[in-house]
Amino acid sequence: METQLPPSSSSSTYHIFLSFRGSDTRKNFTDHLYTALCNAGFHTFRDDDEIPKGQQILPELERAIRESSISVIVFSKGYASSKWCLNELVQILGRKRKNGAGYSVFPIFYDVQPTEVGNQKGRFKEAFDRYEESGEHSKDKIGEWREALKEVSKLTGKVLEDESNGHEAVFIQTIVKEIGIMLKRTVLAVAPYTVGIDSRVKDINQWLKDCSDVGIGVISGMRGIGKTTIAKVAYNFNFADFEASSFLANIREASEQPNGLIRLQNQLLSDILKGKKQKVYNTDEGIVNIRAAICRKRVLIVLDDVDQIDQIDTLIGFGGSLVNGSKILITTSRERLLSHEDHKSFRIKHLDYEESLRLFCWHAFSKDHPMEGNSEFWASALEKLETIPDERIRKTLEVSYRSLHDDHDKRLFLMIAWSYVGKDLDDAVKTLEERDFYSKIGMQNLLDRSLISVDKDNKIVMHHLVHEMAKAIIRQETNDGPQRHNVYSFTGTKTETITSEGSLLYKNEKCGKRKSMEDYEDESMPRYVEGLSPFKRLCLGFISLFEPATRLTTLLTRQHK
């Protein structure tokens, strides 16, 4: 991964020099750590001993050590078996002795204890026994290596076995946080397993570096696709280039809490004013104070998970108070949220098959490829996830469904999921209009929330996870409860829908009339409808719009007597 963010210190080319034994940790722990450091915005030099090297430290590595702010050394069982690693360690500690407090060394004890390193026990002892027996190295050189290991083992660092219950992902996040403190940089934690992040962040980074004018950028896409992670990485890469910055997370969720927007306003003021207290007690006061705070600085502000336009207006307005070069980056599941405002759009692509497999393997095996002998396991797991989405994923996707403003759009979404995926958009709109849906505006609302999309052939497309979520909603809301059930077919001669409040909307070509269920007299309506839950009534309306020829039956039930 390449980063464009330079270190804060003018004398350092790199934030971090990363030293490790390649054959031990190159493709697992160190790769995860390197990715996490880069995602946190740290310009990291990775010494990969896979590259052929001589017996001496190469000039470019000497320069990288000399021009970094911190050396992070990953000690593993085979570390001492590499003469290259030992020579590199001597060079790093020499830099530390020369620069004192101006240079830091941060040891990480991956699968060894500090005492094993310092006292050369276990595999370390075996390595030094071989060096002494071979006669290839002078006693002075071997002694220099021993002293270097003893010295570094006494430095403050991190021991995997002693922290995070041995969980590498949590351990890595702790390391990133510690390094941020050492470098006096506040960075946002990013999951260590990121796949395909470079290509998705590249255009955003270029846009953020354009200082010619004020810019509003919108990262959009379906829920769970990684918009927040991408925004965090972009923020970490670029925030140091601005006079002030702020990342406001989970705005949709926070705005639903009492005084949630006021809390976000206070956080934004604190970030922009560098901790100076300027507490506000109502949103109007906050708007005035925020505009005064940001009108004189080049700022980077990220608004994460926005779903209503007034949330933006309450927090930053629409750029009228910003100076040239300031950037507002918004993540949202609503593609048309700023359709009437000038902005740069970044539509996030789904992971392709290869990327998805790599991400799965990182989580399952801590490698980017399946482990030998486990092909049946991961193939079965992938097949299961394609058929039965993870519960956490389903709940994440349901947020977009629940955000639909009315039952009409919810019924329209369920109808499309059941019967119109893959159909021509114009034909579907026409058919649904004939069935008394307001399908033109309804389709736009679904497109806006990334619940559906339209391909180049004008066909309706629904992501398979969203499709499974829709079917799960239908099953859940029409077949809950432990009773014994009968299955009924219901195809009335009129177009009927039932709102979640339990009233019947009868609509014809000339006029729309709203009647109470009690006044409706139609023997085609099952009598037990009144006893159904509100959402079962909604689903009855959903099923009732199908043509009789489809032979679809409702999952509406009545208890056996």
Residues with catalytic roles: 88
- According to DSSP, the β-strands at 496-498 and 327-332 are unpaired
192: alpha, beta or left, given left = phi > 0 and alpha = psi -120 to 50? alpha
Which residues neighbour 463 within 8 Å (Cβ) at sequence distance 6 or greater? 222, 350, 453
Residue 105 CA to residue 102 CA, distance in Å, equals 10
**Nearest-angstrom CA–CA distance, 297 and 396:** 36
Amino acid at 513: K
Q: What would the two tokens of residue 182 be?
A: 């050492």
**What is the C-alpha to C-alpha distance for residues 380 and 224, in angstroms, rounded to an integer?**
22
- E strand intervals along 235-368: 244-248, 299-303, 327-332, 344-347
Q: State how beta strands 344-347 and 215-220 pair.
A: parallel
Residue 441 token pair: 């505006």
Q: Which is it for the CA torsion 273, 277, 283, 284, positive or negative?
A: negative
Q: Where are the beta strands (DSSP E) in 199-297?
A: 215-220, 244-248
- For residue 375, what are the contacts with CB-CB under 8 A and spacing of at least 6? none
User: CA torsion sign, 367 to 369 to 375 to 380?
Assistant: positive
Helix, strand, coil percentages for the chain (3-state, nearest 5): 50, 15, 40
